[in-house]
Every structure is written in structure tokens, then in C-alpha cells.
Amino acid sequence: MRVAFAGTPDFAVPCLEACRASGAEVVAVYTQPDRPAGRGRKLAASPVKEAALAAGIPVEQPESFKAEADRSRLAAYAPDLMVVVAYGLILPRKVLAIPRLGCWNVHASLLPRWRGAAPIQRAILAGDAESGVDLMQMEAGLDTGPVLVERRTPIAADETGGSLHDRLSALGADALAEGLRRTLAGETLAPRAQAAEGVEYAHKLDKAEARLDFTQPAAALERKVRAFDPWPVAEADIAGERLRIWSARAVAGIAGAEPGRILAASRDGIDVACGEGALRLTAVQRAGGRRIGVADYLNARPELKQASS
């Protein structure tokens, strides 16, 4: 079976490796064009491109598939199947129709909940108890296709966007490996249509969302801090200083305390009053600095301990 693989970030690399290990022939890898990265803003290859080049697989980087030449080039690889994982480009119907078996997508949610760009972070923000990965037969709609294989996993109380990302990346590779194994054995996977109810859209993350609004409940702000680790990282104004908030948890507050007021500051954390309860900050980052524990931060700002005592 000839497979074309399309993916871009590190989330997709285990799925590429699953394709290679399955016994299928990966005839080409499609990935986003090189983008400026780092302080020097030099063009950098995507993690998927780096993995493909290391494996000696041809790499294609079209800006889109609108041009007939790009679609013809894909067709020339004669793929039986195209596997798409966090590619970042919308595939038009003409592309979906090129592979004999169509296109599969590995999506990091339990569909139809959290269709779209940021399902991992949105699940944590919403307080979902469970997440997972769906291997889906692609259609023209946004993540609307029938599910072929599913893997589920609980979302831990201390789950971050980074930790859930890594677990779902591995689960996605596992689901894809099963789909490939069964297909290579001659089985036709039974598609399960998505439910009409429970559709939620996981809109792309915006850095403006990272600001913590202390009029909100502490539990919601704790979820935001966890969901936005490692990007874009929550931010808050604390005693006249803008801080990135890397770690925090909801605790009991003081009834009637003004949201944003510092209630306590000690080695255990800085407690900030919220609309409901308080948020205890435990790891922060000052402008131009690195992530540090609150105990180290308070060594530089001892007046906070005095003001809250």
C-alpha cells in the first residue's frame, strides 16, 4: 500500500513513524513551507520535514493545493491512501479524491466535540473529564467525517496543554497503526457517523486569551493556566508587574475580597482574590527572565509578603 503523509508539527511525527513501521510504503511527505523561527527569524524546517528527510522520504511543501500542478504532482505518486495529521492546510475535494482509499485524519478529540484547530487546549479550558483521538475518514467539511478508530483517555486534574498533547500524540499513532494494520490485512474498516448532537468548535488560540481576568472563578483560571502551558502561557498583572503564570491552583478565598487583590504571599504561593475563590500562583516568569518558583520571586519582592500579612 502506497501512503502519502501530510503533517507539520511534532504532534504528527509519531504518526509518520507509525506509517513507516506498518509495512506500507510512505511515498511522499507533505508539510507546510519552511517558516521563520527563533530570534534570528531564519527559515526553519517543520519537525515532520526533518523526520522525513532523515528517513530519506521525498518532501513536498506546496503553499496550497489550488494549483492543478500541485494536485497532479500528488497524483503522480499514485497513493492508495493519504494520512493527514495536523497538516495546517485545507484539502479540497479534488485532493480528497486522489487516493484510492481516500484520506484519513488523526484528530485530537472525541468527535464531534472539539472540531477545529485547538482541541487539546479547549478540552482542558472547558473542564472536560475525558479526551482522546479519532482516526477519521476525511470529508469536505471541517472534521465532519466518520470515525474509523477511537482511543480515549481521562484528563488528569493537573493536566497541562503540553502533557495532554504528548499523550494524545502517542495515542494518535496507536490508533493509526491499528487502522493501517487492519487495512493491510484486507479488512474494510467500518465507519461510524458522528453524532449530530454535542458539536463544539475548538477555535484557534489567540495570545489575547492568555490574560487572566480575576473577576472569573478561580477554578476557570486554573484551567486556563494549565491549558496554556506551554503556549501561549497565561499572563496577569500582579502588584503593578506583568507576569507570565506557569503554575497555579484554585484555593479558598475571602468572601467579598476585591478580585485581583493579593490575599496572601508566602513560599507556598501568592493567593489572588477571584470572582469565586482565589488563585494560588506557584510558578511565574518576569519580563526578560526565566520561569521561577514563587519563593524565588518573593525574594526579589519582599514587600508583597509584608503587604499581605
Q: Enumerate the known binding-site residues for (6S)-5,6,7,8-tetrahydrofolate.
A: 109-112
**C-alpha span between 203 and 119 (Å, rounded):** 8
Element (H, E) at 133: strand 130-137
Burial of 195 (0-12, 13-18, 19+ CB in 10 A): exposed
Binding-site annotation: residue ranges: 109-112
Q: What amino acid is encoded at 152 in this protein?
A: R
In Å, what is the CA distance from 171 to each residue of 65, 266, 303? 29, 40, 47
Residue recorded with cell 501561549: 232
Determine how β-strand 278-285 pairs with β-strand 269-273. antiparallel
Q: Which of 158, 292, 160 is nearest to 229 (CA)?
A: 160
Overall residue count recorded for the chain in this entry: 309
3-state class (DSSP) for residue 131: strand
- Strand-by-strand arrangement of the 25-30 sheet: 59-60, 25-30, 2-7, 81-85, 103-107, 130-137, 147-154
